[in-house]
Amino acid sequence: MTAVAHRHASAADEGGSGQVFRQYPRRRPDRAGVASSHQAGGATRSVNRDEAGLRASAQTGQIYTPPGWPEAVLPPGAPDWEQSASSWLLDCCPADYRGYPVLRRHPVVLARFAADFVEGQIRSSRQALSQARANLTDYVEPQVLDSATQMLEAEEARLVRVRRSVALVEEALRGKIFIRKL
């Protein structure tokens, strides 16, 4: 088994002090989406789309994760990356979702439900922001109302970032291979 390096930014790296590389052993993915066939000594071998992407990533020395990829989720192709994705996606959903085994067994279903839930939160935040002044003007002081609307704006921005991260994880779970564009 060969190792694939992945750049991981730690808290110390945010200041630009350097890069940290983690080694993840390469493994053959479980999926069945055949992308192409290769001749090897007269025999034809089918290559999984994900395996081909992992091989390309291994040649460049690292697995690429696009901007917006959640820090708590291992890169696609790393051992147990789907487990880390499921754990993170459950954190994006209502707590009661943890009690449903089907969501743990099928990360793609969980990703779709998480995307829908986050989208609903965004809509709800936008609605609360649009109605806050009309509904609360008679009940709180203007500075409290300003603070509340600033909080809603910050929450909406956070949810938009979460929506992007959930979409990236869902795409990866569906087999998309992210390739760095130069």
pLDDT single digits (tens) 86-105: 999 999 999 999 999 999 99
Of residues 161, 156, 164, 157, the one with CA closest to residue 125: 156
- Per residue in 48-57, pLDDT (tens digit) is 444 444 444 4
Residues of the chain with pLDDT under 70: 1-62
Q: Which helix (H) or strand (E) holds 34?
A: strand 34-40
Residue 33 and residue 31: Cα distance in Å, rounded? 6
Look at residue 62 in the predicted model and tell me its pLDDT. 66
Record the tokens describing residue 173, joined without a space. 């779970």
Look at residue 180 in the predicted model and tell me its pLDDT. 86
Phi, psi (deg, nearest 5) at residue 180: -65, 130
Specify the 3-state DSSP secondary structure of 170.
helix
